[in-house]
Structure 1
Amino acid sequence: MIKKLISIIFITFLLSSCASKQVINSTSATILIKTPTMKFYDKGFISKFDNYTQVQIYSAGKTILDMKIYKDRVCTSTFECESLKEFNKKYLNSAYKDDFLESIFNNNKKETVFRDKEHNILIKVKKD
């Protein structure tokens, strides 16, 4: 009896942990990210989930950027998760607020352009 109960609990846990995350909102966009250390420009998607925003950029049908922006960190397929402060320091500028990236990709504007000539940073998001 206990063995059967443990099996049921294990299967329930396994199935619930594999459940897919539900997208709250997904928008196609043309995205340009040009910094001294990053250069991406192509079509992609901005998808909003409960606890993160996912930015994906595709070129010739292949994913060239898959970035997840959480409240406390940024994760991509090309590097391990980093704190927002560390990400800004490495790829943008340490003077930027922690929520800078999230504010760029989560606003409701049709087109967002951020230009920082002093630090040679240009980010454009044009939602379809």
Structure 2
Amino acid sequence: MKFYDKGFIFNYDDYTQVQIFSAGTAILDMKIYEDRVCSSTFKCEKLEIFNAKNLHKSYKKEFLRELFNKNEKEIIHRDRKNRILIKIKKD
């Protein structure tokens, strides 16, 4: 998955919601729960399955939620071994 657009991150008690927009249209609306991730573009999946498909099976299931919940202005996750780069810039 590659996205280079603007979005929003909402942190709720039960889940974290990530919305990404391109030209005013939502291209990703993803909700990350403790045990699964759901999106309008794919069915709900267990986090382990999502990670294995989109990242790498070695990633712990909490990875995505922890990444989006970090309280930093700029988040960079670089995994050269698995060729994964995630950059999040918060305003």
Q: TM-score, normalised by structure 2?
A: 0.97
* Structure-2 separation of matches of 1:66 and 1:89: 20
Superposed CA deviations along residues 48-68 of structure 1, whole A, max 9, x for unmatched, are: 112000000000000011110
Displacement after TM superposition at 1:118 (Å): 1.7
Task: Give the one of 48, 55, 60 matched to 1:92.
Answer: 55
Specify which structure has the higher proportion of helix.
Answer: 1
| Alignment partner, residue 39 of structure 2 | 76
Pair 1:103 & 2:40 matched: no
Larger-Rg structure: 1
| Alignment partner, residue 123 of structure 1 | 86
Task: Indicate the percent of aligned positions where both proteins have the same amino acid.
Answer: 64
| Alignment partner, residue 8 of structure 2 | 45
* Structure-1 separation of matches of 2:57 and 2:20: 24
SS in 1 for 2:3: strand
- Whichever residue aligns with residue 44 of structure 1, its letter is G
| Alignment partner, residue 58 of structure 1 | 21
Q: TM-score, normalised by structure 1?
A: 0.69
Gaps of 5+ in 1: 1-37
- Whichever residue aligns with residue 87 of structure 1, its letter is F
* Structure-1 separation of matches of 2:63 and 2:72: 15
What is the aligned length? 91
Root mean square deviation of aligned Cα? 0.7
